[in-house]
Amino acid sequence: MTTDSEESVRVWLVERTYSDDEQNLIILTYATTDGERYFRKERALTSFTDVRDTTAAVDADSDNLGTVNDADLRERYAAEAQRMADIHDPDDVI
């Protein structure tokens, strides 16, 4: 039997931004298709030869998901996550 902490949740890329605080840092935000939960990854861009693909979706541990409390943001995340799910396979490189 699995517990909630052992479950993974598929989340879809909804936002890619550059950090204002740190140079060479990309923030990838993934969300559930209902927009209620999100997962955030930060990546340092250390060199042009450092290749790490960004995929359309990832499976994140449910304990690592945050809750989207803002209704407008939740709606935007839901729309973008559903759009990504409709047009991409989870392993598609974005």
Does a structural domain hold residue 18? Answer: yes
Cβ within 8 Å of residue 19, ≥6 positions away = 25, 26, 27, 42
Nearest Cα neighbor of 24 from 58, 63, 50 is 50
Tell me the per-residue pLDDT of 15-63, one tens digit each, with 9 for 90 and over: 999 877 667 788 999 999 999 999 999 887 765 556 678 999 999 999 9
Residue 94 domain-assigned (yes or no) = no
Residue-wise burial string across 70-80, b where 16 or more C-beta atoms lie within 10 A, e elsewhere: eeeebebbbeb
Classify residue 20: in a domain, yes or no. Answer: yes
Q: What mean pLDDT comes out for the span 61-66? A: 97
Asked, for residue 76, whether it belongs to a domain, the answer is yes
**Nearest Cα to 10, choosing from 37, 27, 42, 32?**
32
pTM of this structure: 0.84
92 part of a folded domain: no
Question: What's residue 33's pLDDT?
Answer: 98
pLDDT for res 4: 47
Number of domains the chain is built from: 1
**In-domain check, residue 93:** no
pLDDT at 67 over 70: yes
pLDDT of res. 49: 59
CA dist 31 and 66 (Å) reads 9
First to last CA, the chain: 35
Q: Which domain covers residue 15, as residue numbers?
A: 4-87
Whether residue 46 lies inside any domain: the answer is yes
At residue 20, the pLDDT reads 72
